[in-house]
Amino acid sequence: MNITQDGQGPLVVLSHALALDRHMWDALTALLAPRCTVVRYDHRGHGRGPSPEAPYTIDDLADDAAAVIRSVSSRPVVFAGLSLGGMVGQALAARHPSLLRGLAVINAAPHYADRALWDTRIQAVRTSGMPAVAEASLDRWLTPGFRQSPAGQAVAERLRQTLLGTDSLGYVRACEAIAAMDLRPGNRRIHTPTLVVAGRHDLATPLAQSQAIAADIAGARIVEVDAAHISAAECPAELARALDDWMRTLPAEAA
């Protein structure tokens, strides 16, 4: 896996969203790095991650994340994932609990009852490539008000270029994995301290999805941030505060 490490202090591993890459976290990393060691990596078929020829599952992506953690630390870490990364985080905590001292699930879902929307996206990309889903994705990812601001326009353009540069097959394989997932049984086994973050204006994974995750994970806390789906790009300072406040409640790192 392609891994980037910044900062110094307790280790936090960040896992990115569908059709993006580890640079989705650049702004949040800059805020966390003065007090944390921040590790980011690229999923299969995204950024500089390995190219996926064969289909795979969210469990496979969780095993990838476990391999990343083992490569950078001999002690449990905090794992924070957004969207696809948050789905990976749920599976990771169910499959590899000993690797985690904390889990943050950001703008994610545990299950999709209707896979039609994923089949539609898959067909569009198979037919016309990544431009077929670019504008609709940006509409879901960022609030209209933010996109109209100068800062928001720059963020949207960076996200657009990453999306357009994503491997079409990588996107399709990830959509297939999301469409097939049901993380609810595993969530009921999770005992890792968990923060669930919901975007107040998130249409891709609405508040009800975050509430369902929090309801299934014992002791989970839920907070809202003033953003749409890619909150790490739209409100990194607010998200950093939410993570900092929660991480202060976690047990100290083992010596």
- Residue ranges per domain, the chain? 3-247
Q: What is the pLDDT of residues 117-160, one digit of tens each?
A: 999 999 999 999 999 999 999 999 999 999 999 999 999 999 99
Residue 254 has pLDDT above 70, yes or no: no
Return the structure tokens found at 252.
């100290």
CATH assignment of 3-247?
Answer: 3.40.50.1820
Return d(Cα 84, Cα 207) in angstroms, integer. Answer: 16
Q: What is the pLDDT of residues 146-195, one digit of tens each?
A: 999 999 999 999 999 999 999 999 999 999 999 999 999 999 999 999 99
Give pLDDT, residue 106: 98
Q: What is the pLDDT of residues 30-82, one digit of tens each?
A: 999 999 999 999 999 998 888 887 999 999 999 999 999 999 999 999 999 99
Give pLDDT, residue 255: 44
Residue 245 φ then ψ, to 5°: -60, -40
DSSP 150-204: HHHHHHHHHHHHHHHHS-HHHHHHHHHHHHH-B-HHHHTT--S-EEEEEETT-SS
Neighbours of 135 (CB within 10 A): 10
Give pLDDT, residue 48: 87
Query: Which stretches within 16-166 are classed as H helix?
Result: 26-32, 58-72, 84-95, 116-128, 131-141, 144-148, 150-165
Give pLDDT, residue 93: 98
Contact 82/15 with Cβ under 8 angstroms? Answer: yes
pTM for the full model?
0.96
